[in-house]
Amino acid sequence: MRNIFAMQAGAIALAATFLGAPAYADSCVGNCGIAAPNGVVTAPPEYGPAYRYVSTSGGVAGAGQLPNIGGTNGSLYTSSAFTAEAGDELVFYFNFITADGTGSFPDYAWAGLNSDELLPLFTARTVAGNGDTVPGFGLPGLAPGVVLSPASTPIIPGGPVWDQLGSSSGGCFGGPGQGCGYTGWIKSTYTIPVAGEYTLLFGASNFGDAIVDTGLAFSGIVLDGVVIDPPVVPEPATWAMMIAGFGLVGAAMRRRAMAIV
């Protein structure tokens, strides 16, 4: 009996290790989530194949907006707080996807670093005739110290097919040439200038209306080579260990029950 309890305790401890540590406190307002590659959004170059996203489809009124820019509805993801030293490199990938790039209703997305105040790292927005998406048309430019790779971020035109756009997937408000499309994966690197505690924010906002949608996929929030956001999928080895542990407990308990009978 002691051995059975020991195995039970070991399996429970293993599950607790996976489920409870480290403790993350990321949060979402609106429609954020984890998605598999689909449509125009492929697996990111690193830290995939799944990725995180924010989308205005199913967004909340007032969410995902930049201060002094405005919007209608959207979504905002906030990472867990992390401590960084001056000179640390913060790296992540992003992919801007929009079905609404017209001059009248130019949706946008962005990422920002928050400590005592919000510092927009990049903004993404496109309108008809505006080839580059970053910095977003009429929005703040790149923060000093941000390096994008590739440096140019033109829209890949067309009605983008992406499940996370909901009913807007595959559509392009206004028709061809209206700024709809996606950027593909862009790597963003930022050197932290001042030591402190930070959170990283990703937002997407409709603008002018709330009926045609836009989103931002992102992956791999990495600080000096260490992934600091919650893992988007469990490691296969971890799942295998957990399943094996619970299997041993179940087998032992069955044998014990048979012996008693």
Q: Are strands 156-157 and 108-114 parallel, antiparallel or unpaired?
A: unpaired
Burial class (CB in 10 A: 0-12, 13-18, 19+), 15: middle
What's the pLDDT score for residue 163?
98
The C-alpha atoms of residue 134 and residue 176 are separated, in whole angstroms, by 21
Higher-pLDDT residue of 234 and 26 is: 26
User: What CA–CA distances, in Å, run from 11 to 15, 20, 158?
Assistant: 6, 14, 50
As a whole number, mean pLDDT of residues 165-180 equals 89
Q: Are 203 and 110 in contact (CB under 8 A)?
A: yes
Confidence of residue 202 (pLDDT cuts 50, 70, 90): very high
Tokens 């033109």 sit on residue: 154
pLDDT tens-digit profile of 213-252?
999 999 999 999 999 887 775 444 433 443 444 454 344 4
What's the pLDDT score for residue 24?
66
The C-alpha atoms of residue 71 and residue 16 are separated, in whole angstroms, by 42
Q: How far is CA 56 from the centre of its chain?
A: 13
What share of the chain has pLDDT > 90, as a percent?
A: 67
Asked if residue 189 has pLDDT above 70, the reply is yes
What share of the chain has pLDDT > 70, as a percent?
A: 78
What's the pLDDT score for residue 45?
96
Torsion of CA 214, 103, 73, 25, to 10 degrees: 50
What's the pLDDT score for residue 97?
97
The C-alpha atoms of residue 91 and residue 168 are separated, in whole angstroms, by 30
Asked if residue 257 has pLDDT above 70, the reply is no
What's the pLDDT score for residue 145?
94
Asked if residue 204 has pLDDT above 90, the reply is yes
User: What CA–CA distances, in Å, run from 96 to 10, 28, 115, 151, 192?
Assistant: 44, 18, 25, 14, 24
Higher-pLDDT residue of 239 and 209 is: 209
What's the pLDDT score for residue 259?
46
What's the whole-number average pLDDT of the chain?
A: 83
User: How many angstroms separate the most distant Cα atoms in the chain?
Assistant: 79
As a whole number, mean pLDDT of residues 125-142 equals 86
pLDDT tens-digit profile of 65-121?
999 999 999 999 999 999 999 999 999 999 999 999 777 789 999 999 999 899 999
Confidence of residue 175 (pLDDT cuts 50, 70, 90): confident
